[in-house]
Structure 1
Amino acid sequence: MTNSKIASKIIATLFMSSLFFFFSTLSSHASEKAEFTKEELQQQKDNFIKLGIDDETAEELVQKVANGELLDAQKETEVAKHEDDLTIDTDLEEKYIEFDDGSRIQLSIEEEDVEPLIVPYDYATGTVKNNSCTSGSGYRNCNVTARYNDGIWNIRFNAKVSSVQGGYDSITSISKQAVDAVLYSVTEKKFKILKSKETSSAAAKAEYTNQFTHKLGLYTVSRSLTLYAQKDKTFARLNYY
């Protein structure tokens, strides 16, 4: 057998081996493709319905999330269009902001037999719950819960906030950070007090940052729930860093 024939046979063998490896790998990857369970999809739908979204729209929103699409309630550009609506005062217990695709953001103020302290601010899409307060001559110390919830990401943490009449507010501690996200995996990136005490030009600030990765690996985004204390008021907002 000539050298050229031997070389041809070797090349042919290598080519067939490469094809076998390629299709075997392709088949393996296809069989390992991640999929959502029926339970996960139903839980996501239930979360939407709890926000007052009707069954048909909730089903459509679930499919959008499952396909890797951001809902309008998750998009900074869409949220900004509702800037004037995304505030709430103590005369209103809860409020819903609805977007063109049917997705929603819920704002609420919850009290526990204490004087209302909290007002959400700006197009923060965040809420703060006043858990308990103690007060004395010229000061007030409160335990609060900052929360953002659009049915997809339910983000929250607790904080202790101190306000001084005629003085500067402060955030003295933060704790119990948590995220519920059915169709996403979550990686905590930051949970800290960025500025413990208010100044004449800036609020006291604490921040909880998470990285959200679509469970099918379609994309990854980061969102920060930020708590502010300034001028005897406490408010929260979702930041798009």
Structure 2
Amino acid sequence: MAGSKHSSKETSDPKKGRIVIFSSVIVIVLVAAILVMIFSNQNREEAKPKKQPTHRTEQTARIDYQGQPYIGSSNAPVKVVEFSDYHCPYCKEFEETVIPKLNNDYVKTGKVSFYFINNTILGPGSVLAANAAEEVYHQNPKAFWAFHQAVFQAQKNEKEQWVSKKLLTDIAKKTVPSIDLKAFQNALDTKSRQNDVDKDNAMADSLGVPGTPYIFVGDKAVEEAQDYEVLKKAIDSALAANK
């Protein structure tokens, strides 16, 4: 029988085998190198001091006295602040019963400076009156208090919309003879002092003011300060702490 022929070699090519082995070694080395790099990076990251999640720290809000109407000496050792609304009957009561005592006992004696800041919580009339008062203050700071007191005196039932442009203009004419009526009426028509009012309201919000009138002695809120004896005690305590 004639011998059969084979189309392939019976034995493997040694050169080809060496190439396969060499390629496999290179792949293994590369994989090992990648793993080493990954492991090293992880170790470096773990070695770094990790930043703790930062949370917004609640800081005690502070009263910004700049640009606010006040009576008394700017150098008085204690500042008393009222957040108030011209439409609020309790604010009217505070103005008529507490402020005169505060003025006589502490402001005139140089112990306290008293600041008034808007907190317009009772609607459009409150906002309009606040704009009017801000315009008067910017025109004539000394005349502010006469206008301020007259607005409270004109106050009617809080359920009535008693604040009007005419009323405020009439009060301005009587209490501030030098008033620039054109600018004053523009403030009423366009609420050109609304930025100042908004700033006051934002401050009240940041301080957590719950209503009006609300009183601070220094940076400390005084609950029930409509009672003059309570307010007096808080002021005396602040004065003693400032000695």
Normalised to the residue count of structure 2, the TM-score between the two structures is 0.23
Higher helix share: 2
Higher strand share: 1
Normalised to the residue count of structure 1, the TM-score between the two structures is 0.23
More relative contact order in 1 or in 2 (CA 8 Å, sep 6+)?
A: 2
Larger Rg: 2
